[in-house]
Amino acid sequence: DAKTTQPPSMDCAEGRAANLPCNHSTISGNEYVYWYRQIHSQGPQYIIHGLKNNETNEMASLIITEDRKSSTLILPHATLRDTAVYYCIVSPDSNYQLIWGAGTKLIIKP
Amino acid sequence: GAGVSQSPSNKVTEKGKDVELRCDPISGHTALYWYRQSLGQGLEFLIYFQGNSAPDKSGLPSDRFSAERTGGSVSTLTIQRTQQEDSAVYLCASSLNSGQGAGELFFGEGSRLTVL
């Protein structure tokens, strides 16, 4: 079973910030939170990952709550190309057996 | 190329035939992973290689599935006596190493297998 809970779908207006929530209430102290996305018919693409601190890169920001039981992925200025399924994943002992849930289908609307 | 390369991109086969799927990882990546994705589902872990060895084969669904990796590079996933339930997209990924928090997995575009 996936160790994360995400809403099945979300809409966001183009140019707005897209905020994708993820619950991981059973996360262990040494487990990382990873975010990937999958555009239709393509392989998944890494976005960002973090342990405790908030992280930012050229694609997105990751906000992790202080108790680490939930996180939010923020796409600051969504474009139509950001339409995809977004997966929030908590890593077990190593990153090889990432457990993938169904993700959130994000639709960016013009 | 710079990315993970998989072949064939599409394979249609008859039930009972054997198929081989190939993955060419990013040069220098020691870890290689195989996943399977059925329509509308998340990824299902199959097997992982660190170098040429496979420390964890627990995700392989049956003994009809096998995989090997040679020279720490190319990997082949073989499915014998294919069944219709094997129809899926088979995704390969590689990473620099496999330790915790090691960072991103780089995925190929996948091999879509259809068993008639």
- Picking from B53, B100, B111 by the largest number of A CB atoms within 10 A of its own CB, the best residue to mutate is B100
pLDDT category of residue B98 using cuts at 50, 70 and 90: low
As a whole number, mean pLDDT of residues A64-76 equals 96
Residue labelled with tokens 């977004």:
A86
Rounded mean pLDDT of B80-99? 91
pLDDT digits (tens, 9 = 90+) for B13-45: 999 999 999 999 999 898 899 999 998 888 898
Measured distance between the N- and C-terminal CA atoms of chain B, rounded to whole angstroms:
33
User: Minimal Cα–Cα distance from B60 to chain A, Å?
Assistant: 12
pLDDT at A97 exceeding the cut of 70: no
The 3-class secondary structure across A67-100, one letter per residue, is CCCEEEEEECCCCHHHCEEEEEEECCCCHHHCCC
**Cβ–Cβ below 8 Å for B42 and A2:** yes
Task: Check residue A91 and give its pLDDT.
Answer: 79
For position B99, what pLDDT does the model report?
62
Candidate from A51, A94, A99 with C-beta closest to B99: A94
Q: Under a CB-based contact definition with an 8 Å cutoff, are residues B5 and B91 in contact? A: no
Residue-wise pLDDT for B41-73, tens only, equals 888 989 989 889 888 788 899 999 999 998 889
**DSSP-derived secondary structure letter, A66:** T
Q: Which residue of A has its CA nearest to B58?
A: A97
The pLDDT assigned to A95 comes to 55
